[in-house]
Amino acid sequence: MTLVLGIESSCDETGAAVVAGDGRVLSDVVRSQVELHAPFGGVVPEIAARDHLRAIVPVVDQALRDAQLSLADVDAIAVTQRPGLVGALLVGVQAGKGLAWALDKPLVAVDHLIGHLLSVFLMRPTAAAPAPLSDRRGPDCAARPAFPFIGLLVSGGHSALYRCDGPLASHIRELGATRDDAVGEAFDKIAKLLGLGYPGGPVIDRLAALGNPDDAPLALPMPMARKGSLELSFSGLKSAIARHVLAEGPPQSDADLANLCAAFQRSATTTLVKKAMAAAKAEGVGRVVVAGGVAANRELRARMAEACTARGYELFVPPFASCTDNAAMIAYAGAVKLQHGSLASLDIGPLTRTELPRVTRKGRGMR
């Protein structure tokens, strides 16, 4: 069985993992930088890069210890090459290149977005299984989707819909993406406006469960509601709340705060669910995968499940550990590329843009 050591450093988590070629996760170590960036309300690229430098060797060592393996036991090195913060990516890419050269092992360059889209194929022995639960592979490993499927990728830096006919970049086609903010970015910016700290997604999710969106102190727009478009936009939600806070100040009661969070989350999740269902219908594909950090949002998971059940679609959502940035998804995506003979040379460098062709143009206006 092929064993791949994966390295992830695209943003503010330093990750290393060992994954078997069939998707079994043998170890997955993530060092978060949340405490470093929280005082600034968002990720500071220079701070992120410097912390990756400090963490990369200990994290790789820990991943190998957890897997009870040595560097000699792994068959290849997979590293996130793109997209992400260039300084952060550089640390992981150089570490991966150094290991591949020193060990004389194959090097595989992975696109972070493809890693997220394939994260649903990871088999974590202690994780809750993603839906549906038919055709279980073991006591803790769920069935995985067949191709093709519609992939909704939602995170702090990316929000897009893809048709996935296979696991490689050449098999994946963008159907629509955000014109401006990613949905996770909107969560964080709105949390900052409301004084909720960073990261904002988990806090808003928790408060939204306590609120009533119909009792919010302002009515929020439904972004990109135009029929026939699979494009997304979340800057309008942020701007509406920013204007309200500027004029009225932040919510003065816990109830108003919870209601406002509930209204924002309802608007965001409603848009994502509608667009995903429209994409599945338009493409004639009855399988939907939700991936990325925002896939951990409880309301999104629940509403997507309801919508798919109503239409007879299969929904696949990774366990929480596979939603946020992690090296296990990079190792698995690397194993897939390795099987297809797609190797990287030792002269690769970090790239800030995805290799997936974009069809959505940034900015406002009719298309």
- Domain CATH for 331: 3.30.420.40
Instruction: Give pLDDT tens digits for 218-250.
Output: 888 888 777 788 999 999 999 999 999 999 888
Whether residue 316 contacts residue 145, with contact meaning beta carbons closer than 8 Å, is answered with: yes
Whether 354 maps to a domain, the answer reads no
| Per-residue model confidence as pLDDT tens digits over 168-221 | 999 999 999 999 999 999 999 999 999 998 899 999 999 999 999 999 888 888
Which residues have C-beta within 8 Å of that of residue 181, sequence separation ≥ 6? Answer: 189, 233, 234, 235, 238
Based on the fold, state whether residues 304 and 333 are members of the same structural domain: no
pLDDT in tens, 10-23: 999 999 999 999 99
Contact between 179 and 231 under an 8 Å Cβ cutoff? The reply is yes
Does 185 fall in a domain? Answer: yes
Q: What is the pLDDT of residues 313-362, one digit of tens each?
A: 999 999 999 999 999 999 999 999 999 999 999 999 999 999 999 988 77
Give the DSSP letter string of 191-237.
HHHTT--SS-HHHHHHHHTTS-GGG-SSPPP-TT--TT---B--HHH
State the average pLDDT over residues 292-303: 96
Q: What is the pTM of this model?
A: 0.91
Q: Are residues 46 and 107 in the same domain?
A: yes
Q: Is the pLDDT of residue 129 over 60?
A: no
Is residue 360 assigned to a domain?
no
Asked, for residue 277, whether it belongs to a domain, the answer is yes
78 φ/ψ sector (left φ>0, alpha ψ -120 to 50, else beta): beta
pLDDT beyond 90 at 133 = no
Same domain, 332 and 297: no
How many other C-beta atoms lie within 10 A of the C-beta of residue 327?
35
In whole angstroms, what is the distance from residue 311 CA to residue 128 CA?
Answer: 24
What pLDDT was estimated at residue 67?
Answer: 96
Cα–Cα distance list, 143 to 23, 83, 233, 292, 326 (Å): 12, 29, 33, 19, 21
Residues 82 and 162 reside in one and the same domain: no
Answer yes or no: do 154 and 227 share one domain.
yes
Q: Tell me: do 196 and 312 sit in the same domain.
A: yes
Answer yes or no: is 362 within a domain: no
pLDDT tens digits, 45-65: 999 999 999 999 999 999 999
Instruction: Quote the Cα angle for 187-16-289, to 5°.
Output: 50
Q: Are residues 164 and 286 in the same domain?
A: yes
What pLDDT is stored for residue 45 in this prediction? 93
- Whether 28 and 55 share a structural domain: yes
Q: Quick check: helix, strand or coil at residue 285?
A: coil
Amino acid letter, 336: V
Q: Are residues 85 and 156 in the same domain?
A: no
Q: Give me the domain span that covers residue 327.
A: 3-128+321-339
Q: Is residue 363 part of a domain?
A: no
Residue 325, CA atoms < 13 Å, CB-side half-sphere? 27
How far apart CA 6 and CA 63 sit, in angstroms, is 9
- In a shared domain, residues 304 and 165: yes
Residues 85, 167 share a domain:
no
Would residue 100 count as lying in a domain?
yes
Q: Is residue 356 part of a domain?
A: no
Structural domains counted in the chain:
2
Same domain, 201 and 292: yes
Question: What string of DSSP letters covers 229-272?
Answer: ---B--HHHHHHHHHHHHHH-S-SSHHHHHHHHHHHHHHHHHHH
The pair of structure tokens assigned to 339 is 């099987």
Taking 80 as the threshold, does the pLDDT of residue 132 lie above it?
Answer: no
